[in-house]
Amino acid sequence: MATYVFKAMDLTGAKATGEVEADSKQVVSDQLKQRGLIVLDIADKHSSKEIKLAFLERIKAQDLTIMTRQLATMVSSGMTILRALYVLEAQTESKPLAEVIVKVRKDVEAGLPLSDALERHPKTFSPLFVAMTRAGETGGVLEESLMRVADQLEKEDSLRRQIKSAMVYPGVVLTFALSVLIGLVTFLVPVFVGQEWERVMNAIKLAASKMAEATR
């Protein structure tokens, strides 16, 4: 048997957490449901912890755009939100985005509206994304709202790429200029300094020799 950590809430919305020893996550889920709790999350307490790098965990704008369009298409075909999220969860290639979809799906499964579930992940879904989704839910035009969100995400990503491309040339020029400056300071300046120092020393020696002759 393994020890599992769970998060759940009752019908009044009060949250509950704890630890349970069971043979599997499904057994834990069944036990919680028998207690009248809505399961939010179940995790193995002693599962190995992976080292995660922040830059590898970022969700690309392109992946989010594709996911949004797929969700809009499935909703427009008559598929339920929950079923569509299950499909996205299985099909999304981006691991960080898939993990977020799993959490959103669990919240929707627990009874939250899609917009409220998305709002719990501000790093992934912007306030505009959440607001347009909520407006679509209220007006009964969710698929149209999601398509508009996807269009907006696509435009923002395109603009971001154009800005990056425009910054490449100035960056190359600046790097070249800095390389030349470092080369001058490293190699040429010491040569000139050495020559000037040699002139100064020769002048001192000449002056000293003249003073010595004058004192004789």
pLDDT for residue 46: 67
- Spell out the per-residue pLDDT of the chain, length 216, in tens: 678 888 877 777 677 888 888 888 888 888 888 888 877 778 877 654 444 444 456 888 889 999 999 999 999 999 999 999 988 988 888 889 999 999 999 999 889 999 999 999 999 999 999 999 999 999 999 999 999 999 998 888 888 778 877 777 777 788 878 887 787 677 766 666 666 666 766 666 666 676 666 666
Taking the model in full, what pTM does it have? 0.54
Residue 48, pLDDT score: 43
Domain extent listing, the chain: 2-44, 57-161
pLDDT given for residue 131 in this prediction: 94
- Determine the topology of domain 57-161 in CATH: Receptor-associated Protein (1.20.81)
Q: What is the DSSP string of the chain?
A: -EEEEEEEE-TTS-EEEEEEEESSHHHHHHHHHHTTPEEEEEEETTPPPPP--GGGSPPPHHHHHHHHHHHHHHHHTT--HHHHHHHHHHH---HHHHHHHHHHHHHHHTT--HHHHHHT-TTTS-HHHHHHHHHHHHHT-HHHHHHHHHHHHHHHHHHHHHHHHHHHHHHHHHHHHHHHHHHIIIIIHHHHHHHHHHHHHHHHHHHHHHHHHHT-
